[in-house]
């Protein structure tokens, strides 16, 4: 029993980057900051408390608006190239998403160990709610959509709806982790939902 506490420390580990160090490099696109910090399938652990979110609210808002621009420029009927990997119902379970990417490769360049040059990625919606990491999940997926707009496809699930995600998790997560009033039209919650409405 005494060894269990030590074993847990080995499995969980410590966060590698202090919260204060997550900043946007003005020379890089915004999505790079999210991808560089979040897309680490072999390194990610759920060690940070679920209330900790290392990105600023204004960055989430800007990311949502940039993704909205891409979605508005693309048709509602998705024409996929094959082969394609299909992912469904992540529901804020960011650790599961990292496990998928660790087991079956991630949507990054082939030269970096990924397979985005060979595969399209189709996500079937329900990115948020229920799990404790909806913000990480949707921010990473929107960032990937921005970087690879013709290879990443984000369909809208029933939880990408303001009336549902205000009750089942995303609303509370934005309120507690981003310290915002989700009813404020200038909130990240509202901008995320505005983006969801344009998903095919």
Closest residue by Cα to residue 120 from 78, 88, 84, 87: 84
Catalytic-residue membership of 159: yes
Q: List own/partner pairs for 22-29 with CB under 8 A and 24 or more apart.
A: 22/54, 22/55, 24/59, 29/146, 29/147
Q: Of the listed 37, 51, 91, 159, which one is catalytic?
A: 159
Q: Distance between CA 88 and CA 90 in Å, rounded?
A: 6
Using DSSP, state whether 33 is helix, strand or coil. helix
Q: Is the CB of residue 38 less than 8 Å from the CB of residue 136? A: yes
Q: Is the CB of residue 140 less than 8 Å from the CB of residue 80? A: no
**Which residues 6+ apart lie within 8 Å of 4 measured at CB?**
none
Positions marked catalytic: 159
């Amino acid at each position: 029993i005494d060894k269990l506490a030590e074993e847990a420390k080995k499995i969980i580990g410590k966060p590698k980057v202090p919260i204060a160090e997550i900043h946007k490099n003005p020379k890089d696109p915004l999505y790079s900051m999210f991808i560089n910090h979040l897309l680490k399938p072999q390194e990610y652990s759920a060690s940070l408390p679920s209330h900790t979110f290392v990105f600023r609210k204004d960055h989430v808002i800007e990311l949502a608006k940039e993704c909205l621009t891409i979605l508005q420029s693309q048709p509602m009927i998705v024409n996929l190239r094959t082969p394609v990997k299909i992912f469904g119902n992540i529901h804020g379970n960011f650790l599961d998403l990292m496990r998928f990417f660790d087991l079956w490769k991630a949507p990054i360049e082939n030269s970096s160990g990924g397979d985005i040059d060979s595969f399209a990625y189709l996500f079937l919606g329900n990115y948020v709610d229920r799990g404790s990491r909806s913000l990480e999940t949707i921010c990473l997926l929107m960032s990937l959509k921005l970087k690879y707009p013709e290879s990443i496809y984000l369909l809208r699930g029933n939880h990408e709806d303001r009336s549902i995600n205000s009750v089942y998790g995303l609303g509370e997560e934005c309120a507690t982790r981003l310290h915002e009033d989700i009813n404020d039209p200038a909130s990240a919650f509202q901008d995320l939902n505005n983006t969801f409405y344009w998903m095919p």
